[in-house]
Structure 1
Amino acid sequence: MYQSYIWDFDGTLYDSYPIMLKAFVKTLKEYGFDPDPAEIYYILKESSSKEVALKYNLDFKEFTRKFKANEALDERLPVSFSGTKETLTAVCEQGGKNYILTHRDIFSTQELLEREGISDLITEIVGPENNFPRKPNPTSLLYLVDKYQMDKKQTVMIGDRTMDVLAGKGAGVKTIFYDIENLLKAVEADHVTHSMKEIEQIIQS
């Protein structure tokens, strides 16, 4: 259906939130707080890690540094959601291309993709090293649109958070909200999906 698929990574392609959430809670406890994991998870989904720092009146850069350090201590590695490889492959088989737009650093994103043999299905990864404003600012999407001369009507941003949909709308591309938990009710996207299989159906439609 589309030609260019711009994917969020954490929580969309890879099931990394259990590891991330544990690190967020641990970090907040180190500051002396007693956070409710369910509340932190909702904030992360509905907004961002910056909103977590604001809620607790913490310096975002310092909080992020401590969170990343705690996340790195977790020996578990995120794995892709069921059907991810098949869905990315379907894009390529339909003549489309996949791109990743993530707040995770490019090196670790690439490593995780290579572990599952799917890095060859991705044309480019855009991460914090690119020094673009964080989503929902659309600058990073527009970089990909301009670099690859994408037709905006044939380009779609796919993500599991409100910020992904807002970034897509800000860039003037189509949007797919990947809502596997029915957690957020007011996200207005061109498509709302609940599994990789549903996204694959859109790709093949």
Structure 2
Amino acid sequence: MYQSYIWDFDGTLYDSYPIMLQAFVKTLKEYGFAPDPKDIYRLLKESSSKKVAEKYDLDFAEFTAKFKANEALDQRLPQSFPGTKETLRAVIANGGKNYILTHRDIYTTKELLEREGIAELITEVVGPENQFPRKPDPTSLLYLVEKYGMDKEQTVMIGDRTMDVLAGKGAAVKTIFYDIEDLLDVDADHIVHSMKEIEHIIQS
């Protein structure tokens, strides 16, 4: 159905939220707050870490640095969701290409991909190092569209958060909302609950 698949990383390709959420809660506690993990999780899914910082009236850059330091202390490594590698392979088998658009730094993203033999399935990873505005601003997505001459009707943004869908809409490409928990009501071209459902779209 599509030729260019632009994926979010955390929470879409990789199940990294348990580690991230623990680091967010730990960081907020260091500031003297007593956050409810469920509230933080929902805020992250509805918006982004920037909204968490705003909720607690914290400097975003400082908050992010502390969060990343706490996240780095966790010895666990995020793992890809079941079926991720097979789905990415299906894209290529059907003549398409995979790209990643993430707020995670590019080095760490590639390192995690390489650990599972997935890096070779990705054409390019765009992250904070590119210095584009954060999603939902569509600038980073449009960079990929323009660089690779993508047909917007044949391009789809896939993510687990509202901001991923908004970035896709802002760039006038198609959108897939990956909602494994039925947590949010988001207006996307496709709403799926598993990698297998995305694979069905790829092969349709």
Pick the TM interval, shorter chain.
Answer: over 0.9
Matched to 2:88, the amino acid is L
Cα deviation 1:52-78 (Å, max 9, x = unaligned): 001000000000000000000000000
When the two chains are superposed, the root-mean-square deviation of aligned CA atoms in Å is 0.3
Cα deviation 1:174-195 (Å, max 9, x = unaligned): 000000000002x100000000
Aligned to 2:17: 17
Matched to 2:75, the amino acid is E
Displaced runs of 4+ in structure 1, greater than 3 A? Answer: none
Report deviation, 1:29.
0.2
Question: How far apart in 2 are the matches of 1:50 and 1:123?
Answer: 28
Cα deviation 1:141-198 (Å, max 9, x = unaligned): 000000000000000000000000000000000000000000002x100000000000
Aligned to 1:123: 123
Question: How far apart in 1 are the matches of 2:52 and 2:134?
Answer: 15
SS in 2 for 1:114: helix
Question: How far apart in 1 are the matches of 2:82 and 2:135?
Answer: 25
SS in 1 for 2:25: helix
Aligned to 1:64: 64
Aligned to 1:201: 200
Report deviation, 1:93.
0.1
Aligned to 2:181: 181
| 1:126-137 matched pairs, under 5 angstroms | 126-137=126-137
Cα deviation 1:76-135 (Å, max 9, x = unaligned): 000000000000000000000000000000000000000000100000000000000000
SS in 1 for 2:5: strand
Question: How far apart in 1 are the matches of 2:63 and 2:13?
Answer: 25
> Does the alignment pair 1:43 with 2:53?
no
Question: How far apart in 1 are the matches of 2:141 and 2:67?
Answer: 26
Matched to 2:62, the amino acid is E
**Which ranges in structure 2 are unaligned for 5 or more consecutive residues?**
none
**Which ranges in structure 1 are unaligned for 5 or more consecutive residues?**
none
Question: How far apart in 2 are the matches of 1:70 and 1:118?
Answer: 26
Calculate the TM-score normalised by the size of structure 1: 0.99
Question: How far apart in 2 are the matches of 1:127 and 1:54?
Answer: 22
Aligned to 2:151: 151
Aligned to 1:89: 89
Question: How far apart in 1 are the matches of 2:113 and 2:197?
Answer: 22
SS in 2 for 1:158: strand
> Does the alignment pair 1:52 with 2:52?
yes
SS in 1 for 2:82: coil
SS in 1 for 2:99: strand
Question: How far apart in 1 are the matches of 2:61 and 2:115?
Answer: 30
Report deviation, 1:7.
0.1
Aligned to 1:110: 110
